[in-house]
Amino acid sequence: MSIQGLPGFRDFYPAELAIRSHVFGAMRRVALRYGFEEYDGPPLESLELYTQKSGDEIVGQLYSFVDKGGRDVALRPEMTPTLARMVGPKVAALKKPIRWFSIPQLFRYERQQRGRLREHFQLNCDLIGEAGPLADAEIVALSIDVMRELGLGPADVRVRISDRRLLTGLLSEIGLIDGQVALAFQALDKLGRSEYGPRRRALLAAGATDAQIARLETLPGIRVWADLERDFPAAAGHGQALAETLGALTAMGLADFVDLDLTIVRGLAYYTGTVFELFDAERTLRAICGGGRYDGLLEAIGGVRAPALGFGMGDVVLTELLRDRGRLPGPAPSADVFVALISADDRPFVLGLVHTLRDQGFRVEYSFGEPALGKQFKQADARGARLVVVVGPDDRSRGEVVVKDLVDGAQRSVPTPELVGVLIAKGCRQLSR
């Protein structure tokens, strides 16, 4: 009987792991350029960390169980509560604003479908201790720059942005009150989708009128600020922070990526201000990234008041989009240099040479057996090596080796002490120590 992997969990064979590393590499480079520091937390947390503040949807998807000590625990479904828990007790000592990033693996028991698995990796970038709208622009810009770093432009991906403070103002101008507001958020989130019908009925049952709902349904049509001010003059003032964030993104030269979209609410319960999501421009995939401002979460979890915001960018949808757009790197060689031998007597010299070259940072392979030279060249080719260094008794006695370039076919004898210089001149990559 062969045992299968669990549904919704991935195996990363080397080719897939190379793609993952490519994506993570871009994420890390951009986060570092923004002055973010990397952190991590445990994959298992107490259940209560999520039941308090994450919202029903995510709580329903938890991998949770009672551990051997009788504690209710859960695999982390998102990173934000861990971040809030970690920052809470240390906040006074940490230099602010805190700019932290992490690429955790997260677990959600979701119905498996395109772009949704039961584990995924998520770049989390969060900025804590800054309430002003420039911080919001910084976070949105960081998410866009990860797209740019991976070769995606405004024709490939769009940021859809809104603000819960503005939305609350809009719902109040429409005349919705108290319990209707939460229902209206849920309805907005589902507008234009099959799940909208039940949400609309729930709003009616809670006392909203047809006229109010009709006005709510005009919100997706508002795409520019002037329309917002014309149709909702009283509420537009609640959008001041969002307007400043959009202005800053324009000044950064990133406005081309960004759309005002008043249907963006975000499913998680803790957001208090800016909310945004990144989607592929054709909207054939699920969200690539989601985030926003959550000024109350640190107090609820960590016991300290501090404004905060950030985003989570999943690897699953992003990798699908990169594949669709031909933006994934091709197979990469696993060795730069292959050292071949002519006779068994060359073996000790080859072992010494291979070791020296590896110490110098080159990726080097050789044959464990003593096959014919032609077969060793085939092995070199299969590993993607660009250069073969041939060691033979005659060359050895002259203190030389032969270097053959598999790309242009050029071949020449090189004094052994000069080999490293020749490899560098040929463009062989040295791994940094």
Three-class DSSP category at 414: strand
Read off the tokens for 269: 């319960």
145 vs 365 by CB, closer to ligand HAM: 145
The reply on whether position 288 binds ligand HAM by CB under 6 A is: yes
Rounded CA gap, 358 and 40, in Å?
A: 31
Could you say whether residue 289 binds ligand HAM (CB under 6 A)?
Answer: yes
Measured from each CB, the residue nearest to ligand HAM is 314
Cα separation, 342 vs 338, whole angstroms: 13
Interaction pattern, residues 357-396, with ligand HAM; x per rule: CB under 6 A: ----------------------------------------
Helices (H), ranges, 239-278: 240-251
Least distance to ligand HAM from the beta carbon of 268, Å? Answer: 6
Assess 120 for contact with ligand HAM (CB under 6 A): yes
**Smallest separation (angstroms) from ligand HAM to the CB of 82:** 10
Number of residues that bind ligand HAM (CB under 6 A): 23
133 binds ligand HAM (CB under 6 A): no
User: Does 212 contact ligand HAM by CB under 6 A?
Assistant: no
Q: Binding string, 234-263, against ligand HAM, x = CB under 6 A? A: ------------------------------
Collapsing DSSP to helix, strand or coil, 54 comes out as coil
| CA triple 174-159-324, angle to 5 deg | 135
Query: x/- site string to ligand HAM, residues 86 to 115, per CB under 6 A?
Result: ----------------------x-x-----
Q: Which is nearer to ligand HAM, 275 or 387 (CB)?
A: 275
CA atoms of 279 and 318, how far apart (whole Å): 9
Q: Is the dihedral of CA 195, 310, 122, 83 positive or negative?
A: negative
Say whether residue 116 binds ligand HAM (CB under 6 A): yes
Secondary structure (3-state) at 37:
strand
- When binding is defined by CB under 6 A, the residue of 169, 239, 291, 392 that contacts ligand HAM is 291
Min dist. Cβ of residue 91 to ligand HAM (A): 16
**Matching residue, tokens 């570092």:** 32
* CA dist 225 → 185, 260, 423 (Å): 20, 8, 59
C-alpha pair distances (Å), 349 with each of 354, 356, 358, 417: 9, 11, 14, 13
By 3-state DSSP, what share of the chain in percent is helix, strand and coil, each rounded to 5? Answer: 45, 20, 40
- Say how far apart CA 264 and CA 260 lie, in whole Å: 9
Of the listed pieces 76-84, 373-381, 389-397, 400-408, which binds ligand HAM according to CB under 6 A?
76-84
Q: Cis bond leading into 97, ω under 30°?
A: yes
Q: Which stretch binds ligand HAM (CB under 6 A): 18-26, 121-129, 178-186, 244-252?
A: 121-129
Nearer Cβ to ligand HAM (173/320): 320
Of 77-85, 171-179, 196-204, 238-246, the window that binds ligand HAM (rule: CB under 6 A) is 77-85
User: Is 169 one of the binding residues for ligand HAM (CB under 6 A)?
Assistant: no
| Least distance CB 117 / ligand HAM (angstroms) | 4
Q: DSSP secondary structure string, 92-143?
A: TTS-SSEEEEE--EEE--PPPBTTB-SEEEEEEEEEES--SHHHHHHHHHHH
Residues that bind ligand HAM (CB under 6 A): 78-80, 108, 110, 116-117, 120, 122, 124, 126, 268, 287-291, 310-312, 314, 316-317
